[in-house]
Amino acid sequence: MAKIRKAVITAAGWGTRFLPTTKAQPKEMLPLVDRPIIQYAVEEALNAGIEQIILVTAANKQAIEDYFDRSPALEHFLEQRGQHGLLERVRHICDHADICYIRQKESLGLGHAVLTARRLVGDEPFALFLPDDVFISSPPVMQQMLEVYNQFQGSILAIEQVSREDTQRYGIILPQKLSERIYQVLDLVEKPPIEEAPSKLAIMGRYILTPEIFGALEQTSPGKNGEIQLTDGLKQLLKEQPVYAYEYQGVRYDTGIPLGWLKATISLALEHPEFGPSIRGYLRDLDKNP
């Protein structure tokens, strides 16, 4: 049984929905309560037992590489001040994550970003994280998916039931139910018109992919704006081997849009052991004094 040892996290987009902020700061580094958005994906991968993380970045994403690197000057400063709690938090993610980086030299779509990581992934199955989707669950969504992978030994897509109106925002699968929460994918459609959606099961930002996805993506023709879509590559992969979908258990926040990021910030702050009580009181006061 091939073990999932590596994860690819894509972080090469321009973050245009957050402009002008993202002109100088990567969207993935926006704070989500007490840590940047991308750290949630890294921690989920580590908590699922993944050994190596491959971050696909771009020329304007140096801050991500700096964040996950050691900072001797800062660490020395905190140590001299006796701020050992902060020092441990600063060191923790650097000490526990084995991260390497590769740059997507052109913005040619998610499928192209995945292809960029081919040399580092090698000929083995891997996990794929889209960090805009932040999942809160126990066990982690990727750990749930790994259990499904161990059963079927094929590509697994995380899916969620959405409203009929929202099907035009996502990749949608044509499913054949195999068991509770598990489906075989018969077809996929990227952002179909509402009347053409084959189901209400939408693909979200977690995948387990077999290495054959790279060959499938190489055979995939660029679509709109010259981009190679992962969904189109998965359609190609379906011609070669079965693909499965798993309806995960947990809560998802779409931090890739400002409103979704704001909702995630409020929801996660309310659950935070340090900030939660104060935030609840603040929101109650706002409600009393509109």
pLDDT band at 185 (very low <50, low <70, confident <90, very high): very high
pLDDT band at 157 (very low <50, low <70, confident <90, very high): very high
pLDDT of residue 227: 87
Q: How many CA atoms lie within 13 A of 201 on its CB side?
A: 23
Q: What is the pLDDT of residues 91-109, one digit of tens each?
A: 887 777 789 999 998 888 9
Mean pLDDT of 148-164: 95
Q: What is the pLDDT of residues 1-30, one digit of tens each?
A: 578 999 999 998 888 899 999 988 999 999
pLDDT of residue 165: 92
Domains and CATH numbers, the chain: 6-256 (3.90.550.10)
Long-range contacts of 190-196 (CB under 8 A, 24+ apart): 190/229, 190/231, 190/232, 192/167, 192/168, 193/168, 194/164, 194/165, 194/167, 194/168
Three-state SS for 135?
strand
Element (H, E) at 284: helix 276-288
Q: Which residue from 98, 74, 96 is spatially nearest to 87, judged by alpha carbons?
A: 74
- 148 pLDDT higher than 70: yes
Average pLDDT, the chain: 92
b/e per residue 29-49 (b: at least 16 CB within 10 A): bbebbeebbbbbbbbbbbebe
Q: Which residues pair with 288 in a beta bridge?
A: none
For tokens 């840590």, the residue is: 35
pLDDT band at 289 (very low <50, low <70, confident <90, very high): low
Among 36-40, 194-198, 230-234, 285-289, name the one with the lowest average pLDDT: 285-289
Kindly report the backbone phi and psi dihedral angles of residue 63, in degrees, each rounded to the nearest multiple of 5, phi listed first: -60, -30
Question: What is the DSSP secondary structure assignment for residue 60, as one 8-state letter?
Answer: T
Q: What is the pLDDT of residues 244-277, one digit of tens each?
A: 999 999 999 999 999 999 999 999 999 999 999 9
pTM of the model: 0.92
Determine how β-strand 201-209 pairs with β-strand 126-129.
antiparallel
